[in-house]
Amino acid sequence: MTEISFFEAQKWAFSFIGKNDYETKNVIQMFLLNLRNWNELQLLQNQRMKLTDSEFSRFKSSLEMYLEDWPPQYIIGHTIFFGHRFEVTEDTLIPRPETEELVEWILKDEANGIRQKKVVDIGTGTGAIGISLKLEQPNWDVTISDISQKALLVAQKNSEALLANVDIVQSDLFAKLKDKYDVIVSNPPYIAYSEISLMDKSVIEHEPKKALFAEEDGLYFYRKIAQELPKYLREDGSLYLEIGFKQGKQVVDLFKGIGQVELKKDFYENDRMVKVVLKKGEKNVNHENL
């Protein structure tokens, strides 16, 4: 058995990586927690416990992959989103904290009363948005969809592990959807190809490009959704979108002729979310922060 404790392994890891910043601390802690499926309190309570040889080998291997620009979530195979553990693979994007704000916005605006709502999460990836909504509102009828069969296999695993009873449909946007919905939500590909040089190497090399990039300076999928929306969203229904931080005005302009539009910032004060309420004959725009 190795003679290194969890506390000593953490100190050694800072030296091995060559950094001692907040991000490095979080990554090291993530890898240590994953060794025994501990939470932060358990790690704190067991700082002096020794790692086994196999645990230290796994820990060192994780650090080596991280130094080769692998996202830590792919290394350990999961991430935490909205308080739940979601499996992630290179077939899915890694859910971001900003997207949790989109879930919070939907719940704040839509979870009023006991009426069952019909909801679809388009381009679901891991299923993080749709599954999180279902877990918070079990009476909602939630469908999750994606064009990628491999991503849907991951989403299915997550729905089963979290006991979330959602319908799963393979679809290119609305192509295989037949119903009208009270709530449509999507975090579609929205990064312009011209922005590749601004992105982290770990994202470009490992996250699925089809889930990241879009034509028309990143606006292609928003335009497609705007064209099809009236056929799939009920009157007084709501569309919620995550957007790129430079896309607020353009996305609002795409939907202003369809319904009442609201633009919302994230906790970094970047334009990040758009809501469209489909009201017959109404073309008002209420977009804060423009």
Whether 283 has a pLDDT exceeding 50, the answer reads no
**Residue 146, annotated as binding a ligand:** yes
pLDDT value at position 265? Answer: 97
To the nearest 10 degrees (0 to 180), the angle between helices 22-36 and 53-67 is: 140
Say if residues 259 and 236 touch (Cβ distance below 8 Å).
no
pLDDT digits over 98-123, tens only?
Answer: 999 999 999 999 988 667 899 999 99
**Residue 189, annotated as binding a ligand:** yes
**Residue 125, annotated as binding a ligand:** yes
pLDDT value at position 289? Answer: 43
**Spans of all domains in the chain:** 6-68, 92-277
**Residue 126, annotated as binding a ligand:** yes
**Residue 143, annotated as binding a ligand:** no
**Residue 124, annotated as binding a ligand:** yes
**Residue 24, annotated as binding a ligand:** no
Share of the chain above pLDDT 70, in %: 95
Where is pLDDT greater, at 113 or 142?
A: 142
CATH homologous superfamily of domain 92-277?
Vaccinia Virus protein VP39 (3.40.50.150)
**Residue 190, annotated as binding a ligand:** yes
Whether 86 has a pLDDT exceeding 60, the answer reads yes
pLDDT value at position 281? Answer: 54
In three-state secondary structure terms, 117 is coil
For 25, 89, 167, the CA distances from 100, given in Å and listed in that order, are 23, 19, 21
Q: Is 233 exposed, middle or buried (0-12, 13-18, 19+ CB in 10 A)?
A: buried
Close Cβ partners of 268 (under 8 Å, ≥ 6 residues apart): 98
pLDDT value at position 112? Answer: 80
**pTM score, whole prediction:** 0.93
Q: Order across the sheet with 181-186: list the strands.
A: 167-170, 141-146, 118-122, 181-186, 233-242, 271-277, 260-265
pLDDT digits over 8-17, tens only?
Answer: 999 999 999 9
Q: How many CB atoms lie within 10 A of CB 116?
A: 11
The amino acid that residue 98 corresponds to is: E
